[in-house]
């Protein structure tokens, strides 16, 4: 029997008796979901061309030959709050609980280049991450944590070069040389303009800082991931799954082009590019998204940029579960959402994973909540069995159809962005921002009309919920950080610090200089983030966005 025959006989009879739940089923990206997928949807499916084998081009099935049979993904919980002292304690706790890598969250003043005692920082110090003003804070943050033994991911963008310099010097002081360091800086400024908002400088000098880092790291810290090209925040801002991969890879293309234009050889830096995606609730669409992204990036690197090394074509990625899916109502329900999202990430072949905590729609997570989130990953890894064979959903008529359709949708967006002159131009014109805002608004309207059910929020509600215990940040953190800064400015060699800042300013003015060595000199003399960024703000100016609503 063919699908058509089944539809006109068995199915027609059933539909005559009772209609389906909805007239049409759709994915987040607007793709119509068929009732049933059969071999007919995969006619002419070429296994070798579309999937291949794990560890081989186009890497659809995964980037390593053994995937999680070799070792599990890195369980890496994003953490940081208040001061370096308090965050250092949380990192040690997480490592004791079996976490296998560190991930540092910085507060907003650190991310946007203001010292804790700057008036712009008022009220924000230590709130969404740890407050870092100088090398002294980084020394405290990693006190007692051997930097040659852990890999550290730092969510830092506009000030990435400065935080990387602090990390390198802190490691030197522990007796660890740069070539032993492993980790990642996010360093993805384009998505800051498009979705996340912690930019400082305009695109051109920002792209220069990024290529300076690529160049410096390719020589000095070969084990460092120099960028984590992020779709996570694009999705959090409201994009669909197709837009998430399209805009992320379009940004990736812009970075590769910038580095090639700066004179680097694609195979010298492309192997250190890494990615960062969101894991949402729509399990199958998410798994397909990760697979489509791998295949797309491999083709882009090989065909568009002529990469020769296999490593340059591999899309390696970190995943975080979707903060925007968490509800403030009945927060324990979020544990179940995070479990589904964890499955999506693992079935999609992630290299590392952060699982959100149940209370994050309300505040930073408590220690108990973080432990449950980590245990969720451990249960999926050790008990569910999903990690025991590679890419287990491959060959599913549905998954392969979805993978193809997401790839096609993403390619259409990328072609449109190419026509605009690339990602930087598309962002300057507000194109990505508008697309994301439209998707966010559509989603909200679907929730408000009840077309989309969010359990506990727009249905299955309970009255008089008991508010959970939340984590509070001590409001005195700002005062303590300011006091530390005052002491630092009294005790450091101020003449040397000023000389380093002057040298940095001069170098910033000449386009062909790599700024990393100058920033490292400033770091060693305990120049602060605010001081370095003031110098760079003078040299580069500040970005003024086009606002889109």
Partner 1 sequence: MEKKIRILMAKPGLDGHDRGVKVVSRALRDAGFEVIYTGLRQSPEQIVTAAIEEDVDAIGLSLLSGAHNHLFPRVIELLKENNAEDIMVFGGGVIPEEDIPGLLEKGVAAIFTPGTPTSAIVQFLNERFG
Tell me how crowded residue 167 is: count the other CB atoms within 10 A of its CB.
26
Q: Which of 38, 174, 324, 429 binds partner 1 (CB under 8 A)?
A: 324
Length of the chain measured in residues: 549
Segment contacting partner 1 by CB under 8 A, of 55-63, 321-329, 346-354, 493-501: 321-329
Query: Any idea which residue has 């559509």 for tokens?
Result: 442
- Residue-by-residue DSSP string for 335-350: HHHHHHHHHHHHHTT-
Question: What is the rounded distance in angstroms from the CA atom of residue 341 to the CA atom of residue 143?
Answer: 33
Contact pick of 86, 215, 236, 404 for partner 1 (by CB under 8 A): 236
Locate 219 and state its tokens: 């020589």
Stretch that binds partner 1, among 120-128, 304-312, 518-526, 528-536 (CB under 8 A): 120-128
Which tokens sit at 133? 């003003």
Q: Scanning residues 127 to 156, which ones bind partner 1 (CB under 8 A)?
A: 127-128
| Minimum CB distance to partner 1 smaller for 422 or for 545 | 545
DSSP E strands, 126-242: 151-154, 182-185, 224-225, 227-230
Using alpha carbons, list the distances in angstroms from residue 108 to 174, 199, 486: 27, 11, 20
Q: How many CB atoms lie within 10 A of CB 445?
A: 11
CB of 458 to partner 1, least distance (A): 8
The interface region with partner 1, picked from 22-30, 47-55, 178-186, 233-241 by CB under 8 A, is 233-241
Beta strand 182-185 with 224-225: parallel, antiparallel or unpaired? parallel
Taking CB under 8 A as the rule, does residue 404 contact partner 1?
Answer: no
Distances in whole angstroms, Cα of residue 78 to Cα of each of 87, 148, 347, 357: 11, 20, 21, 10
For 317, the token pair is 């990625």
Report the sign of the C-alpha dihedral through residues 436, 124, 173, 503, in that order.
positive
95 binds partner 1 (CB under 8 A): no
Question: Pseudo-torsion of CA 57, 60, 61, 65, nearest 10°?
Answer: 30
> Is 122 among the residues that bind partner 1 (CB under 8 A)?
yes
Q: Does 338 bind partner 1 (CB under 8 A)?
A: no
437: Cα within 13 Å, side-chain hemisphere: 9
38 touches partner 1 (CB under 8 A): no
Using CB under 8 A, pick the residue from 467, 490, 495, 510 that binds partner 1.
467
Min separation Cβ 292 and partner 1, Å = 24
What value does the CA radius of gyration of the chain take, rounded to a whole number of Å?
24
Least separation in angstroms between CB 545 and partner 1: 6
Binding of partner 1 at residue 539 (CB under 8 A)?
Answer: no
CB of 109 to partner 1, least distance (A): 7
Determine if 337 is a binding residue for partner 1 (CB under 8 A): no
Is residue 455 near partner 1 by the rule CB under 8 A?
no
192 binds partner 1 (CB under 8 A): yes
Residue with Cβ nearer partner 1 (176 or 447) = 447
430 near partner 1, judged by CB under 8 A: no
The residue with tokens 């009732």 is: 35
63, 75, 112, 138: which one binds partner 1 (CB under 8 A): 112
Report, in Å, the least distance between residue 79 CB and partner 1.
Answer: 15
Cis peptide before 183 (omega within 30 of 0): no
Q: CB–CB of 486/133 below 8 Å?
A: no
Nearer of residues 109 and 348 to partner 1, judged by Cβ: 109
549 binds partner 1 (CB under 8 A): yes
The count of other CB atoms within 10 Å of the CB of residue 223 is 13
Does 198 interact with partner 1 (rule: CB under 8 A)?
yes
Q: Regarding beta strands 273-279 and 182-185, do their DSSP bridges make them parallel or antiparallel, or are they unpaired? A: unpaired
Pick the piece of the chain touching partner 1 (CB under 8 A) from 44-52, 119-127, 404-412, 419-427: 119-127
In angstroms, give the least distance from the CB of 127 to partner 1. Answer: 4
- Region binding partner 1 by CB under 8 A among candidate stretches 161-169, 388-396, 442-450, 482-490: 442-450
Which residues contribute to the site for partner 1 (CB under 8 A)? 108-109, 111-112, 114, 119-124, 127-128, 192, 196-198, 236-238, 324, 327-329, 361-364, 437, 440-441, 444, 447-448, 454, 457-458, 467, 470, 473, 475, 545, 547-549
């Amino acid at each position: 029997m063919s699908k058509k025959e089944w539809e006109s006989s068995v199915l027609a009879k059933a539909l005559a008796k009772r209609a389906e739940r909805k007239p049409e089923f759709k994915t987040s990206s607007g793709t119509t979901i068929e009732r049933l997928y059969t071999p007919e949807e995969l006619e002419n499916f070429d296994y070798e061309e579309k999937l291949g084998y794990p560890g081989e081009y186009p890497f659809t099935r995964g980037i390593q030959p053994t995937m999680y049979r070799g070792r599990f993904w890195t369980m890496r919980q994003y953490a940081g709050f208040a001061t370096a002292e308090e965050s250092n304690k949380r990192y040690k706790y997480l490592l004791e609980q079996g976490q296998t890598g560190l991930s540092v969250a910085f507060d907003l003043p650190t991310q946007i280049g203001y010292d804790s005692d700057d008036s712009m920082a008022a009220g924000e110090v230590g709130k969404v991450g740890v407050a870092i003003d100088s090398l002294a804070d980084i020394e405290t943050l990693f006190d007692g944590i051997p930097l040659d033994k852990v890999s550290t991911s730092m969510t830092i963008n506009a000030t990435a070069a400065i935080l990387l310099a602090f990390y390198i010097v802190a490691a030197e002081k522990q007796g660890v040389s740069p070539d032993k360091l492993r980790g990642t800086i996010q360093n993805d400024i384009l998505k800051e303009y498009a979705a996340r908002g912690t930019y400082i400088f305009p695109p051109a000098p920002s792209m220069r800082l990024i290529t300076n880092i690529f160049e410096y790291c390719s020589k000095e810290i070969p084990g460092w991931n120099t960028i984590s090209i992020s779709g996570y925040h694009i999705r959090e801002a409201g994009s669909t799954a197709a837009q998430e991969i399209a805009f992320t890879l379009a940004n990736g293309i812009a970075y590769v082009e910038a580095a090639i234009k700066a004179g680097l050889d694609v195979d010298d830096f492309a192997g250190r590019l890494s990615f960062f995606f969101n894991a949402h609730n729509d399990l199958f669409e998410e798994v397909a998204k990760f697979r489509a992204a791998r295949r797309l990036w491999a083709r882009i690197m090989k065909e568009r940029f002529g990469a020769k090394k296999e490593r340059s074509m591999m899309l390696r990625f970190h995943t975080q579960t979707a903060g925007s899916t968490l509800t403030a109502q009945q927060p324990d329900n979020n544990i179940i959402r995070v479990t589904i999202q964890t499955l999506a990430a693992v079935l999609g072949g992630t290299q590392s994973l952060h699982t959100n905590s149940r209370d994050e729609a309300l505040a930073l997570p408590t220690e108990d909540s973080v432990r449950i989130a980590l245990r969720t990953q451990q249960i999926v890894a050790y008990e569910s069995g999903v990690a025991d064979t590679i890419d287990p959903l491959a060959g599913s008529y549905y998954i392969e159809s979805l993978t193809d359709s997401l790839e096609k949708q993403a390619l259409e967006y990328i072609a449109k962005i190419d026509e605009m002159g690339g990602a930087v131009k598309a962002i300057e014109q507000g194109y990505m921002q508008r697309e994301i805002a439209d998707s966010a608004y559509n989603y909200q309207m679907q929730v408000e009309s009840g077309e989309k059910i969010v359990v506990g929020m727009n249905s299955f509600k309970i009255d008089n919920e008991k508010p959970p215990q939340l984590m509070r940040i001590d409001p005195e953190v700002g005062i303590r950080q300011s006091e530390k800064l005052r002491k630092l400015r009294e005790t450091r060699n101020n003449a040397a610090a000023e000389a380093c800042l002057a040298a940095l300013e001069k170098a910033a003015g000449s386009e062909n200089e790599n700024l990393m060595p100058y920033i490292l000199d400033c770091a060693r003399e305990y120049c602060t983030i605010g001081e370095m960024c003031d110098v760079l703000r003078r040299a580069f100016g500040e970005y003024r966005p086009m606002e889109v609503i």
